[in-house]
Amino acid sequence: MVEFVAAQDREQIGKAMSQRIVELPAPAIDGVKDSTISLFQMQDGLVFRIPHIEEQQVGYRYLAFVEVEDELGSWGLAGRIQSAEGDTLVTIPADRALTFRGQSIVLRYFYLEIENSISPSTRYFAEDEIYRPVVDEAEKGIIPLAVVNRGVNVRLRASKALSVGALVSFYWHGTACEGSYVSHFRIQSSDEGKDVVFGIAPRFLRPNKYGTVQLIYTVENAGRKWTTSLMELEVEGDLKAPEQVYGSPGRYTPGQLDLVDKAGRIPMTLSTHGMSVGDAVTFIFSGILIGTSYVWRQILESHHIGQDLLIHVPLLHAQLGPSVRALGIVERKTGEVVGTPLVRLEPPILD
């Protein structure tokens, strides 16, 4: 039997029905256990699963997306529902899945035809053979002023690369070039399977107030070499900068990296001005995407002095992403460490 309603109630009931919220189930990556995506799974590509709901119809538009710590490495794909029955499976190609490695990722999706339909999030960790360095005290990419005067701890997460006998070179490059630091060490049997934690003294933090520090490390072991992504952190100063009410924050104006390569390598130069015989020079070049960091080292001899060092970076422009950073660090024979100014570059836009 039907239920009759008063005219006065009809609009209210209709409005409530039109605003009914569809509760979407959380997405998942097929075959993942304990919320950790193995490197082998990424090498084969990943399957993003959107669970079936009663409301789905053929032709409904969806957007599946993966957020990563490095926002520029995030991924998304739009599509249409092909069947009113069953889950929707979205393939993430292997080359794209591998850009997630070493990071926490968050999955979500939504339907355009269903209002307020964004799904709950599902979080995973994508493993790797080496992980980017972490400053324990950093908060949302910023080293707080409260710890600048007492120092911070750098953490190198336990990984396959950090096995017994590994030779590790860690580089800390500050906006104020005298606020730079380098450390070389080997992994002992007592260290294997553990995070490597060491302190950075205040004298490498204070000069960099209001600026940034760049962190990167390399590992060499048993004929293999690993290089992490270049991590950038801001160092908080004593006062806050003024901000505009409307608009977006400014940034350094980057230079342009032209589309010129030599046999698949990008040519760069580093001047030896201010350097001496016996200095250990390290050149660091890093695109924004995972796997696009390159570290080059040279002990200077007499014939290098007064010349530009020509360095061929073994990367293609198409690999780099929308931005590049390049810098140099010099370890003098006296023990002093000094860094070059940081250079930001924009690669050419490729069709």
The listed range with the strongest mean pLDDT (18-27, 113-122, 128-137, 270-279) is: 128-137
Q: Torsion-angle region of residue 14: left (phi > 0), alpha (psi -120 to 50) or beta?
A: alpha
Q: What is the 3-state secondary structure (H, E, C) of 43-86?
A: HCCEEEEECCCCCCCCCCEEEEEEEECCHHHCEEEEEECCCCCC
HSE at residue 290, side-chain half, CA atoms within 13 A, is: 22
For 241, phi then psi, to 5°, come to -75, 150
Q: Please state, rounded to an integer, the average pLDDT across all residues of the chain.
A: 87
Mean pLDDT of all residues in 70-80: 82
Mean pLDDT of all residues in 79-102: 92
CA separation (Å) from 115 to 19, 84, 91, 331? Answer: 8, 18, 25, 59
Grouping H, G, I as helix, E, B as strand and the rest as coil, residue 155 is strand
- Enclosing H/E stretch for 147: helix 145-148
Per cent of the chain over pLDDT 90 is 57
What pLDDT score was predicted for residue 234? Answer: 92
What pLDDT score was predicted for residue 22? Answer: 76
Grouping H, G, I as helix, E, B as strand and the rest as coil, residue 175 is coil
Q: Work out whether strand 61-68 and strand 104-111 pair parallel, antiparallel, or are unpaired.
A: antiparallel
CA separation (Å) from 272 to 89, 183, 342? Answer: 55, 22, 16
What pLDDT score was predicted for residue 35? Answer: 93
CATH topology of domain 255-346: Immunoglobulin-like (2.60.40)
Residue 300 CA to residue 304 CA, distance in Å, equals 6
Which superfamily does CATH assign the domain made up of 7-126 to?
Immunoglobulins (2.60.40.10)
pLDDT digits (tens, 9 = 90+) for 268-305: 899 988 889 999 999 999 988 888 899 999 999 999 99
What pLDDT score was predicted for residue 317? Answer: 84
Grouping H, G, I as helix, E, B as strand and the rest as coil, residue 290 is coil
What pLDDT score was predicted for residue 338? Answer: 87
Of the pLDDT bands very low, low, confident and very high (cuts 50, 70, 90), residue 195 is very high
For 225, phi then psi, to 5°, come to -135, 135
- Asked whether residue 259 carries a pLDDT value surpassing 80, the answer given is no
Of the pLDDT bands very low, low, confident and very high (cuts 50, 70, 90), residue 244 is very low
- Asked whether residue 17 carries a pLDDT value surpassing 80, the answer given is no
Domain range annotation of the chain: 7-126, 134-235, 255-346
What pLDDT score was predicted for residue 79? Answer: 92
Residue 59 CA to residue 245 CA, distance in Å, equals 42
134-235 shares its CATH topology with 255-346: yes
Residue 27 CA to residue 190 CA, distance in Å, equals 40
- Please, which residues have CB within 8 angstroms of residue 346's CB and are 6 or more apart in sequence? 254, 255, 256, 257, 322, 323, 324
Q: Please give the structure tokens belonging to residue 190.
A: 């007592």
E-assigned strand segments in 51-200 = 61-68, 75-80, 88-92, 104-111, 122-126, 134-135, 142-143, 152-156, 167-174, 181-186, 196-200
CA separation (Å) from 284 to 66, 131, 171, 204? Answer: 29, 17, 9, 19
Q: Does domain 134-235 have CATH number 2.60.40?
A: yes
